[in-house]
Amino acid sequence: MKCSCQEFLDNYPNCTKCSTGTQITAQERKRNYILNNPDKKKVCRVRIDECVIEGSSTKRCDYLMVVCHREGNNTNDSD
């Protein structure tokens, strides 16, 4: 499945937050998730549980991190 940063921004704007910081963080209950980003690439953090996927009784991940490529690149937007 190919999903680009722009697709998440377009289809799930309330679930997607993009950043170019050196650390991308997410929190769930008492857990902290940290993605080190020393090259300061654009990374979109997408909330999956109760945002992209709502009201399901099945287990699912809390977040998805998508590393975006520069515009004009014809390849998939995630590494």
SS (H, E, C) the chain: CCCCHHHHHHHCCCCEEEECCCEEEEEECCEEEEEECCCCCCEEEEECECCCECCCCCCCCCEEEEECCCCCCCCCCCC
Give 23's Cβ-side CA count (13 Å radius). 5
Rounded to two decimals, the pTM is: 0.75
- Sequential pLDDT tens for the chain (79 residues): 567 888 899 999 999 999 999 999 988 888 898 999 999 999 999 999 889 888 777 788 888 999 987 654 444 444 4
For residue 23, the model assigns a pLDDT of 93
